[in-house]
Amino acid sequence: MLQVVFNEISAAEMSQLSTMAQLELLDEFQVDPKDLESIESSEAYGVIERSGEKLYRYRAKDLRLYFEVAEGCVVVHRVLHKNTLQDFLYRSKLPLA
């Protein structure tokens, strides 16, 4: 298991969720380094390249978590609802306002 750290943006996005939704998401979002090694066969994970960095996408019900693994911890960059314009723009590497 890796420690999960939320940056300012993702923490603000998490705070917009209900307490129960936050707890369910954190309970489901358990990152194991072995899961990231076999990412091609996983339905829950995806990979995107952004500014020369490899970011992972975790699919959790109606939410998408974009994160990177750095120095033994998981840094969550964004928490977005699926099928939204923000999610599309983030995956497409377009700037977000």
Poorest-confidence range of 2-16, 24-38, 54-68? Answer: 24-38
Domains of the chain: 3-91 (3.30.2310.20)
What was the pLDDT predicted at 46?
84
What's the whole-model pTM score?
A: 0.85
Q: Give the 3-state secondary structure of residue 45.
A: strand
The sign of the dihedral angle between the CA atoms of 91, 9, 41, 25 is negative
Q: Which residues pair with 68 in a beta bridge?
A: 75
11 near 1, Cβ under 8 Å?
Answer: no
Q: What is the rounded distance in angstroms from the CA atom of residue 71 to the CA atom of residue 96?
A: 27
What was the pLDDT predicted at 2?
77
pLDDT digits (tens, 9 = 90+) for 52-89: 888 889 998 899 999 998 888 899 999 999 989 988 88
